[in-house]
Amino acid sequence: MNAPDTSGGQDLAILHYGDGDFTVVRPGRFVPCAVSGRRIPLEALRYWSAEFQEAYAGPGEALARWRERNP
């Protein structure tokens, strides 16, 4: 019996981002960075926007998005 393929969309989590925390809507292992597209493991997720409901891989991506929206 072959092991199931876990490299696809099944590992994509759906989250609701709040101020200071997030809620898992659909379980998964990662979310995509809204700026770079890089996969962010949930245990490493530290940066997101509650206002725009998007995640960022790090402070550089969060700052880049802020600068895009605040010229």
The tens digit of pLDDT for each residue in 8-65 reads 567 999 999 999 999 999 999 999 999 999 999 999 999 999 999 999 999 999 999 9
Range of the domain at 61: 11-69
So what's the pLDDT on residue 4?
Answer: 44
Residue type, 27: P
* Phi, psi dihedral angles at 22 (to 5 degrees): -135, 160
Long-range contacts: 47-52, Cβ < 8 Å, 24+? 48/15, 48/17, 48/22, 49/17, 50/17, 50/18, 50/19
So what's the pLDDT on residue 8?
Answer: 54
* Any domain includes 60: yes
* Any domain includes 4: no
- Cβ neighbours for 54, distance < 8 A, ≥ 6 positions apart: 17, 34, 48, 65
Res. 6 pLDDT band, cuts 50 70 90: very low
* Any domain includes 31: yes
Predicted structure pTM score: 0.83
* Any domain includes 3: no
The tally of domains found in the chain comes to 1
